[in-house]
Amino acid sequence: MAKDKVTSAQVAKFAGVSQSAVSRVFTPGASVSKKTADKVRSAADELGYRPNVLARSLITGKSRIIGLVVAYLNNHFYPEVLEKLSSSLQAEGYHVLVFMAKQTSSNIDEVLEEILDYQVDGIVLAAVSMSSDLASRCNDAGVPVVLFNRTQDDDHLSSITSDNVAGGRKVAEHLLQCGYKNMGYIAGWSGASTQRDREAGFCQGLAAAGLQLHSRGQGDFQFEQAKIAAREMFTTKNRPEAVFVCNDHMAFAVIDVLRDELGLSVPEDVAVVGYDDVPAAAWAAYKLTTVRQPANRMVDETIAVLMAQINQKDTPPRRLSLDGPLVVRNTTSAVAEE
């Protein structure tokens, strides 16, 4: 037979405190003395009491739930960020619901419609964007939305990114300093602001030196597609001397093709630069030169913006672009002598 649920009134009686004191103990951020909290938690443990979060949300109008949407997890940058975001939100007293979405706007809108049904207090979109119509609906419903590692042209939305344009320029400047002239680029998904901005910065850096892209491939942020793009780019007689790959995930695929399939040495025959600085970039198998995304700062700013907008509904959106350093390892040659 099912065991009857223990009520907060029973816990209060057992602990010798008021029912409101029990409520405060289990309400994140509520004021309560340590002595009272210890008595209530001890009584709750003794009786097997668990607070009814859903019932409390009906009273307070706050679900204490944040919807977190990600497009894919095969790129090592996102599992790491997902853990950081989840831990930071839990430290703020929020529960996290993770939803997977494809990159198409129609699929993302369907997922977000489902998230709104959960009466979430806020939404973080990691590596995805949303339609203007749904953005307006979230705004009208008082549900703040923060874009993480993406941006889009919508005044209602906050966004936190690394400075992708500056990062792309840093890659171009580094490769030029190393003495490379003919440079290729393997792009990510064309609908992503990160792809657009990294390529724009890279091309700006080349243009400042009077150069332009030698060749371009399309990797769509997919490992196998990046392999195809690398084969096409480097099996020609007039191959580039260096290649900037839009993220580390694809850069690993490119290096695998260059070394294992085409018998080319990195960086002696071809230099490779990525973007993100995921943990595997430092592994001995790759030692990849890459632009480091300031993930910790990006997470901290995302949480700060989201909490501000949840706690103060008229807080204006913020769009932050954080600088990230170029990390030079073994996939590019030493800087040429002046």
Which is it for the CA torsion 78, 84, 87, 91, positive or negative? negative
Model confidence at 58: pLDDT above 60: no
pLDDT of residue 171 exceeding 70, the answer is yes
Q: Do domains 63-161+295-322 and 164-293 have the same CATH topology?
A: yes
Q: Is pLDDT above 60 for 3?
A: no
Domain edges within the chain: 8-51, 63-161+295-322, 164-293
Evaluate if residue 155 carries a pLDDT over 90. no
**Cα–Cα distance list, 97 to 26, 69, 119 (Å):** 20, 8, 11
207 contacts: CB under 8 Å, gap ≥ 6: none
For the chain, the first-to-last Cα distance in angstroms comes to 83
Cα distances (Å, whole numbers) of residue 302 to 65, 98, 242: 16, 16, 35
The 3-class SS string of 237-249 reads CCCCCEEEECCHH
Does position 219 have pLDDT exceeding 90, yes or no? yes
47 pLDDT tier (thresholds 50, 70, 90): confident
Classified by CATH at the fold level, domain 164-293 comes out as Rossmann fold (3.40.50)
Name which residue leads in pLDDT, 230 or 41. Answer: 230
Tell me the residue ranges of DSSP E strands in 173-267: 183-187, 215-218, 242-245
Q: Which CATH class is domain 63-161+295-322?
A: alpha beta
- Give tens-digit pLDDT for 307-317: 999 998 889 99
Q: What is the pLDDT of residue 48?
A: 84
